[in-house]
Amino acid sequence: MCLLPEDAGRLIKAGASIQVEEGLGESIAIDAGKYEAAGATVVRDRPRALAEAGLILRLHKPPLEEIAELREGVVHVSFLDPYRTPEFAAAMNDRGVSAVSLEMIPRSTLAQKMDVLSSQASLAGYAAVVLAASRLERIFPMMMTPAGTISPARVFVIGAGVAGLQAIATAKRLGARVDAFDVRPEVEEQIKSLGAKFLKVDLGGETSGTAQGYAKALTEEQLARQREAMSKQCAHSDVVIAAAQVFGRKAPVLVTSEMRRGMKAGSVIVDLAVETGGNVEGSAMDRELTLDGVLLLGHSHMARRVAVAASQMLSSNLTNFVQHFWDKTAGTFVLNLDDEILKGCLVTHKREILQERVREIVAGAGKGNA
Ligand code: NAD
- Residue 93, domain CATH: 3.40.50.720
Query: Do 280 and 315 fall within a single domain?
Result: no
Q: Tell me if 176 is assigned to some domain.
A: yes
Measured CA to CA, the distance from residue 87 to residue 79 in angstroms comes to 14
Q: What is the pLDDT of residue 329?
A: 87
Q: Residue 241, class by beta-carbon neighbours within 10 Å (0-12 exposed, 13-18 middle, 19+ buried)? A: buried
Query: Using 50, 70 and 90 to split pLDDT, how confident is the model at 283?
Result: very high
Q: What is the pLDDT of residue 368?
A: 59
Alpha helices in 14-115 (DSSP H): 32-38, 46-52, 86-95
Which of ligand 1's atoms lies nearest the C-alpha of 112? 41
Looking at this protein, which amino acid is placed at residue 360? E
Across 237-256, average pLDDT: 95
Q: Which of 186-194's residues contact partners 24+ apart within 8 Å by CB, and which partners?
A: 187/160, 187/161, 190/160, 190/165, 191/160, 191/165, 194/165, 194/168, 194/169
Query: Do 93 and 153 fall within a single domain?
Result: no
Measured CA to CA, the distance from residue 298 to residue 271 in angstroms comes to 5
Question: Is the separation of the CB atoms in 209 and 215 below 8 Å?
Answer: yes
**Does ligand 1 have an atom closer than 6 angstroms to the CB of 215?**
yes
Query: Do 163 and 290 fall within a single domain?
Result: yes
Q: What is the pLDDT of residue 215?
A: 86
The CA 334 to ligand 1 mean position distance, Å, reads: 31
Query: Using 50, 70 and 90 to split pLDDT, how confident is the model at 205?
Result: confident
The CA 173 to ligand 1 mean position distance, Å, reads: 22
**Does ligand 1 have an atom closer than 6 angstroms to the CB of 156?**
no
For the cut 60, the answer to whether the pLDDT of residue 272 exceeds it is: yes
For the cut 80, the answer to whether the pLDDT of residue 257 exceeds it is: yes
Query: Do 207 and 295 fall within a single domain?
Result: yes
Q: How many CB atoms lie within 10 A of CB 57?
A: 24
Measured CA to CA, the distance from residue 244 to residue 223 in angstroms comes to 12
**Catalytic pick from 118, 122, 237, 315?**
118
The CA 155 to ligand 1 mean position distance, Å, reads: 19
Contact residues for 333 (Cβ-Cβ < 8 A; gap 6+): 16, 54, 55, 75, 322, 325, 326, 327
Q: What is the pLDDT of residue 328?
A: 87
Q: What is the pLDDT of residue 30?
A: 96
Among 63-72, 93-102, 155-164, 203-212, which is the least confidently predicted range? 203-212
Query: Using 50, 70 and 90 to split pLDDT, how confident is the model at 182?
Result: very high
Helix, strand or coil for residue 277? coil
From 284, 300, 316, the end of a domain falls on: 300
Looking at this protein, which amino acid is placed at residue 262? G
Q: What is the pLDDT of residue 330?
A: 87
Range of the domain at 235: 136-300
Biggest CA pair distance of the chain: 73
- Look over the chain and give the mean of its residue pLDDT values, rounded to a whole number: 95
Query: Do 316 and 348 fall within a single domain?
Result: yes
Query: Do 186 and 282 fall within a single domain?
Result: yes
From 276, 300, 324, the end of a domain falls on: 300
**Catalytic pick from 58, 107, 135, 304?**
107
Query: Using 50, 70 and 90 to split pLDDT, how confident is the model at 302?
Result: very high
Instruction: Tell me the pLDDT tens digit for each residue of 18-38.
Output: 999 999 999 999 999 999 999
- Counting residues of the chain whose pLDDT is more than 90, the rounded percentage is 89
**Does ligand 1 have an atom closer than 6 angstroms to the CB of 166?**
no
Q: Are strands 326-327 and 332-333 parallel, antiparallel or unpaired?
A: antiparallel
Query: Using 50, 70 and 90 to split pLDDT, how confident is the model at 9?
Result: very high
Across 10-18, average pLDDT: 95
Q: Tell me if 227 is assigned to some domain.
A: yes
Q: What is the pLDDT of residue 151?
A: 97
125-154 burial, b for 16+ CB within 10 Å, e for fewer? bbbbbbbbbeebebbbeeeeeeeeeeebbb
Question: Is the separation of the CB atoms in 280 and 292 below 8 Å?
Answer: no
Q: Can you name the residues that pair with 298 across neighbouring β-strands?
A: none
Query: Do 175 and 283 fall within a single domain?
Result: yes
Contact residues for 200 (Cβ-Cβ < 8 A; gap 6+): none
For the cut 60, the answer to whether the pLDDT of residue 369 exceeds it is: no
